[in-house]
Amino acid sequence: MKNSPENRVSDHVDAQLAETYERDGFVHIKDLLPEGFITGYADEITRKVKELNTINLPMEERNTYQKAFIQVTNLWRHSDKVREFVFNSALARAATALMGTRGVRMYHDQALYKEPSGGFTPWHADQFYWPLASDKCVTAWIPLQHTPMKMGPLAFSKGSHRFTFGRDLPISDESEQQIQDALQAEGFPTIEKPYALGDVSFHAGWTFHRAGPNTTSRPRKVMTIIYMDIDMKLKQPENANQQADLDAWCPGAIPGEIINTFLNPVLFEK
């Protein structure tokens, strides 16, 4: 089918785009997925987010992390329809091509819903939280609606995946200021653009990124899928967050060995 996700990936993801990803630490791909493909799953994703969400505090009583978004992980284990979306081979194939690996495994998925009046997401690098032995990991960020600037789309620090300052900082008010100051001092440009429905971005685990607040009356609904190299090995956790991730997303995995658990299936292999 001309408008299938597989054909869109074949048309959009090429060697030049992979070079851009390697250079910048992210790519924002316009019109990668058919709108109808996304809307066909959006209601079920939202239904599971509402069902599984555990944060019910009023916004004024939440900390910065909780204000940033409702976060629900591994929805694929709670819905066959969401599993079908997350296990789609087209996005996994795109992640493989961008990273230059022979395939990818699931690390985990997560829905990130920024509520109306939801706060900003501070500067951070995802891999601070991940006990992964290499940088061959990538997050696909998939909005489930058109996402204008006032809704809080992702902003990337271009080229910052090679910057080592701040890799020991969790998401917080402190990380926002310290990382922002360091990125500005080094001259890394901030790239922030709206997303149309069908746009998908991919960013590397060490790419610093943030998002503004949602000042609209509608939630910013986003589904993410985190892919890792099919040959990714577990490293010894270096902080409490990495230990928590190991326990949650890689149960039974052994440091120094390939992460091959029932929660980390192969999603694409050449």
pLDDT band at 5 (very low <50, low <70, confident <90, very high): confident
- Kindly report the average pLDDT of the chain as a whole number: 94
Give the list of residues 6+ apart from residue 40 with CB closer than 8 angstroms, or none. Answer: none
- Residue 22 pLDDT: 97
**Which domains does the chain carry?**
5-249 (2.60.120.620)
Question: Is the pLDDT assigned to residue 236 strictly greater than 80?
Answer: yes
Span 64-76, pLDDT tens digits: 777 778 899 999 9
- Residue 3 pLDDT: 66
pLDDT band at 175 (very low <50, low <70, confident <90, very high): confident
Question: Is the pLDDT assigned to residue 92 strictly greater than 80?
Answer: yes
> What sections of the chain are H helices per DSSP?
5-12, 15-24, 35-52, 64-68, 80-86, 89-99, 173-186, 240-249
Residue type, 120: F
Check if the beta carbon of residue 234 is closer than 8 Å to that of residue 255.
yes
Question: Is the pLDDT assigned to residue 169 strictly greater than 90?
Answer: no
Find where tokens 């939280």 sit: 129
More confident residue, 128 or 11: 128
Span 187-196, pLDDT tens digits: 999 999 999 9
- Residue 1 pLDDT: 52
- Residue 141 pLDDT: 98
- Residue 171 pLDDT: 83
Q: What is the mean pLDDT of residues 140-161?
A: 98
- Residue 58 pLDDT: 79
- Residue 172 pLDDT: 82
- Residue 69 pLDDT: 82
